[in-house]
Amino acid sequence: MHAASRSAPVLRLASASPRRRELLASIGVVVEVAPADIDETRLKGESSENFVSRLAREKAEAGQAGSALPTLGADTVVVCDDTIFGKPEDEAHAREMLMTLSGREHRVLSAVAVLGPRGLVETRVSTRVVMRRIDEAEASAYWTTGEPLGKAGGYAIQGLASVFVDHLEGSYSAVVGLPLAETAALLRAQGVSLWGGTLPDIGSSGGAS
């Protein structure tokens, strides 16, 4: 019975991202995947911070439809000089983004919203990433690996692009797609058990309320 409870979904994930699913699995959270289809157009005059937080909220709200489970929505963007770098459209676009980030610092904003018994709780994390200088040949070779596809900013810090990163200040897991410490706090606040149910819920053993 205990084993079965660990394998049953305890959270609905409003995202098709395998990286977010893997990150949640790493802290013992089994999810039901229900990607949310929302308009991800940036509003006129909207800051990058407000943009990423709004998308996380809208994904959580859209993804919860028809489910009694708490629902997590998240969004991650790469920001350089207030320009949001999304997913590359093709090789030229991916190479352009990577060469813009080359030898410079940029921010990765990762927002998380969880809709559950306590209503909507949310957080946003900003991580500073500094890239070493990358030459055109490296950028072209990186594209051929297939890794840049579907990645904000055209790179995956947890993959082959790790060799491009000089240093990082903030949350590594947020750059991958989900700030785990902050996400865990939101989940526990909504009564979602971590570590396969072996970590006490907040408030059950004198923890934060």
The secondary structure of residue 113, as a DSSP letter, is: E
**Degrees to nearest 5, angle at CA 101 with 100 and 105:** 135
136-144 helix and 91-101 helix, angle to the nearest 10 degrees:
130
Cα dihedral 16, 119, 181, 42 in deg (nearest 10): 50
Residue 17 CB contacts under 8 Å (≥ 6 apart), including other chains = 74, 177
Query: Catalytic residue at 75?
Result: yes
Q: How far apart are CA 12 and CA 189, in angstroms?
A: 15
- Which member of 39, 75, 82, 166 is catalytic? 75
Active-site residue numbers?
A: 75
